[in-house]
Structure 1
Amino acid sequence: MSWTDASARNALRRLFDTAIRAADPRAILARHLPEPPKGRVVVVGAGKSAAVMAAAVEDAWPEANLSGLVITRYGHAAQTRRIAVVEASHPVPDAAGEAAARRVLAAVQGLGAEDLVLALISGGGSALMALPAEGLTLADKQAVNRALLASGATINEMNCVRRHLSAIKGGRLAAAAHPARVVTLAVSDVPGDDPAVIASGPTVPDPSTFAEARGIVAHYGIELPPAVAAHLAAAAEETPKPGDPRLARAEFRLIATPQMALEAAAEEARALGLAPLLLGDALEGEAAVAGTLLAGIARSVRAHGHPLGAPAVLLSGGETTVTIRPGVTPGRGGRNTECLLGFTLAAAGMPGAWALMGDTDGIDGSENNAGALAAPETLARAAAAGLDARALLASHNSHALFDRLGDTIVTGPTLTNVNDFRAILIA
């Protein structure tokens, strides 16, 4: 087919929507449930998908003796009948999340061997279920979270630090539920789908150590509140490690991953007449740099037919980072629009190349858009509107450019989260 601007934009949006549908707990959760136990079922959890996952459990087990509590982000609640839903702050935790985390921990205590704890875990759970370790305060954790988010640390590194500042993460929730059986159903939003990293692994053993957490803090030069520094230095109570008998009856099941979403998008691309190339579900690094690299691959497809010929679409997932340099007051935008602006500048008006980059949870950073779309004319349109694309990228103000051009992608909360989705169409 002959690709026009409208058809290319429509195709990219179809791929994005397909990826999100492939990770929708309402469609996929039921088949991953265990057999109902003889005893009670206590449902707990945290994350951007936690409420809709709880609703899916209620629909699948209409007669089960369910109780419990899940924590989700403000605006991400779903209607439930037997499982309580609490909304809290993300990405910086708040008092609502701390109070709910205490209720979650209390809900799993005092159970017997015939009882089941069903843990519903998804991206965002680490900030939403914030229960400071003994001697620390919520203000301490808020300060560390803000510093981590601005440091350029990867999600794996951030969650290593978080696990060692928590009374519930890093396997501590599952340990508190012993001797009950614990089955975790998880939606992965992290590169590599490591169970210990998804929401900081509240129900799985934690192989990392206090020493590793201190090393991450030192590497990024993060200034810690005195109580946090003292806690990490004392290393008084390590997280439960592999082989801990309290976690012997804990089982972990992934129900949705970035790779699953990319594969669904690839199938849709073939139906649209595009040759898909999956570049990986775990791309990390600086967002703008990643955009530059992706533009280079697109240019090779366009000019040389390598690594595949057009019409094609390059698909990738993972989680890039945005490092705020000292002295820079950041503007508005998230890692996806920053990556897209990096791509746009590097592509420099390349004909026949369109790109969509967005977060599958519907929120890019702290904005109300999932991401944005760029076309061959984006730079020219920005210049005509008086926008300096390079200056906006340098000040981490990518949202201003795409919002002014009307090219942001707004979905609202999708109630799932399998990390970032990037699609580059080369006609």
Structure 2
Amino acid sequence: MPHFDQRQAHIQAIIAAALQTADPHTAVRHHLHKQGNQITVGSHPFDLANGRLIILSIGKAAVPMALAAVDVVGEAAVSGGGILAKHLPQNTPLPLPAYEGNHPVPGEKSIAATQKLLQTVQNLTENDLVLCLISGGASALFTQPLLPLPIWQELTQALLASGCTIQELNTVRRQFDAVKAGGLARLAAPAQVISLILSDVVGNDLASIGSGPTVASSETLADAKAVLQRYGVSMPDFGHVRTTTQPPTNILDNIIIGSIQQSAQAAAAQAEKLGFHARLLTTKLEGEAREVGQFAAALAKDAPPQSATLLGGETTVTLRGGGVGGRNLETALAAAIGLAGWPNRAIIGFATDGDDGTSGVAGATVTGQTVSDKQDALAYLNNNDSYTFFARRDGGGNGRTLIQTGPTGTNVNDLIIILNYT
């Protein structure tokens, strides 16, 4: 029978299981194979003797995905390409030219790196293959804005602060960026294009993951306008929008190789091994982070004895203050306020990329003892300063709440884990 004083070990084991399942290196190797001169991507064969192979790896998991792909096919088989990530390792030799971009707001580094990658898909033929490895963060990292950069940045920042979902944000991005909504595939034509995708979008909508660089979209300017109006965001000059074009005909396939569904199921299985009765409620959780935190606290109070309740998805935060935090920390702090005084329960909010908002940590673990002064905690919550609350508490010798993993090399949304030890 699990005991409350073992919760840190339980939490570490459950998180490790979720991350192992979302490991980009393993996921790529499951979907990419080579025998002789032939590689197979998903179910699609390609003869290296007849054409060139270009590999573009873009997103927070770009480095491990690229390493896995080149490990499978061999460096000699790759004619070109590049890696575009938020962070690059300091002492790891990389098999392709590698660039760092800006995230979550695109900047000069992202634009310059995007140009470098696009140069590698010029002058290709219909016999060539562009293998795209896409993961979360690609929308900001890989960008060719049709608006002046300062306006594009201001628009992105306003939407990020508005509380809109990632799907809504990317609806706007697709109208103002040449490489989104199938734009990369168009620029690579007539070469064949196939993507292996690590999903960071609730519901795995292909057009929303990285804003769909190899996925055509039927959305129009009216859809983007509707999002901006819904959240009261000023509209830019609509003379600079992506013109509607025919869907690219050179896209072979877009294959999801990892998602929150798989990670949440692995986490639930690990909880069962630890002696909990696990139940996965949803992998499509959305909503305002503080409201989700309140909901998690209510679930914890009514949870069956010796149970682990899991929810996967991605919340949003409407910025009201100027503090430091992230959606998982905000969820956890709201949960801690709601759970105050309730014994033998723990709630964990965790970002699978290890980097929650502006905090530099992955999330937090809270119990009924985390908050002793609800008004004080609420003041931090209202200032969007959840990280400072938890850091202050940890620094005071009151136990460990912050979850620090560093960049995990993957990104498949967030997990909320509710453990009841009664």
TM over 0.5: yes
Contact 1:196 1:205 in 2 (8 A): yes
1:129-278, aligned counterparts within 5 Å?
A: 129-133=142-146, 136-224=147-235, 228-231=236-239, 237-238=243-244, 240=245, 244=247, 246-278=248-280
Structure 1 residues 112 and 293, CA gap change in structure 2 (3 angstroms) = same
Q: CA deviation at 1:249?
A: 3.3
1:395-410, aligned counterparts within 5 Å?
A: 395-406=383-394, 407-410=401-404
Structure 1 residues 146 and 236, CA gap change in structure 2 (3 angstroms) = closer
Q: Which residue of 2 aligns with 1:370?
A: 362
Residue-by-residue CA offset, 1:311-351 (whole Å, 9 max, x unaligned): 111111111111024xxx32111000100111111112211
Q: Which residue of 2 aligns with 1:120?
A: 133
SS of the counterpart of 1:223? coil
Q: Which residue of 1 aligns with 2:419?
A: 425
Contact 1:357 1:372 in 2 (8 A): yes
Q: CA deviation at 1:374?
A: 0.7
Q: CA deviation at 1:366?
A: 1.5
Q: Which residue of 1 aligns with 2:35?
A: none
AA aligned opposite 1:237: T
Distance across 1 between alignment mates of 2:60 and 2:9 = 27
Distance across 1 between alignment mates of 2:361 and 2:78 = 39
SS of the counterpart of 1:405? helix
Q: Indicate whether 1:21 and 2:17 are aligned.
A: no
Distance across 2 between alignment mates of 1:79 and 1:206 = 37
Give the TM-score normalised by structure 1: 0.90
Distance across 1 between alignment mates of 2:335 and 2:249 = 45
SS of the counterpart of 1:162? helix
Q: 2:118 aligns with which of 105, 112, 130?
A: 105
Q: CA deviation at 1:46?
A: 1.6
AA aligned opposite 2:224: A
Give the TM-score normalised by structure 2: 0.91
Contact 1:121 1:184 in 2 (8 A): yes
Distance across 2 between alignment mates of 1:91 and 1:352 = 37
Q: 1:49 aligns with which of 54, 57, 61?
A: 61
Distance across 1 between alignment mates of 2:31 and 2:91 = 20
Q: CA deviation at 1:66?
A: 3.8
Contact 1:77 1:85 in 2 (8 A): no
Q: Which residue of 2 aligns with 1:4?
A: 4
SS of the counterpart of 1:414? coil
AA aligned opposite 1:4: F
Structure 1 residues 175 and 262, CA gap change in structure 2 (3 angstroms) = same
Unaligned runs of 5+ in 1: 302-308
Q: Indicate whether 1:59 and 2:71 are aligned.
A: yes
Structure 1 residues 387 and 220, CA gap change in structure 2 (3 angstroms) = closer
Contact 2:185 2:250 in 1 (8 A): no
AA aligned opposite 1:258: I
Q: CA deviation at 1:2?
A: 4.7
Residue-by-residue CA offset, 1:111-131 (whole Å, 9 max, x unaligned): 111111001111100001121
Q: Which residue of 2 aligns with 1:321?
A: 316
Structure 1 residues 76 and 260, CA gap change in structure 2 (3 angstroms) = farther
SS of the counterpart of 1:229? coil
SS of the counterpart of 2:239? helix
AA aligned opposite 1:402: F
Residue-by-residue CA offset, 1:21-63 (whole Å, 9 max, x unaligned): 1111122211212144331111113210012111111111114
Q: Which residue of 1 aligns with 2:294?
A: 292
Q: CA deviation at 1:294?
A: 1.4
Distance across 2 between alignment mates of 1:139 and 1:64 = 40
Contact 2:272 2:278 in 1 (8 A): yes
1:62-81, aligned counterparts within 5 Å?
A: 62=74, 63-75=76-88, 79-81=92-94
Farther-moved stretch of structure 1 (252-261 vs 22-31): 22-31
Contact 2:339 2:367 in 1 (8 A): no
Distance across 2 between alignment mates of 1:404 and 1:90 = 27
Farther-moved stretch of structure 1 (67-76 vs 256-265): 67-76
Distance across 2 between alignment mates of 1:57 and 1:236 = 32
Unaligned runs of 5+ in 2: 33-40, 395-400
Distance across 1 between alignment mates of 2:20 and 2:94 = 24
Q: CA deviation at 1:76?
A: 5.8
Contact 1:98 1:131 in 2 (8 A): yes
Distance across 1 between alignment mates of 2:239 and 2:177 = 11
Percent identity over paired residues: 38
Distance across 1 between alignment mates of 2:183 and 2:195 = 14
Q: CA deviation at 1:230?
A: 2.5
Q: CA deviation at 1:369?
A: 0.5
Contact 2:193 2:250 in 1 (8 A): no
AA aligned opposite 2:237: A
Q: Which residue of 2 aligns with 1:281?
A: 283
Q: Indicate whether 1:412 and 2:406 are aligned.
A: yes
SS of the counterpart of 2:371? helix
Q: CA deviation at 1:300?
A: 1.5
Distance across 2 between alignment mates of 1:219 and 1:387 = 32
Q: Which residue of 1 aligns with 2:324?
A: 332
Contact 2:134 2:198 in 1 (8 A): yes
Residue-by-residue CA offset, 1:213-241 (whole Å, 9 max, x unaligned): 011001111024xxx33236xx5602x56
Q: Which residue of 2 aligns with 1:305?
A: none
Structure 1 residues 128 and 249, CA gap change in structure 2 (3 angstroms) = closer
Q: CA deviation at 1:181?
A: 1.3
Structure 1 residues 36 and 236, CA gap change in structure 2 (3 angstroms) = closer
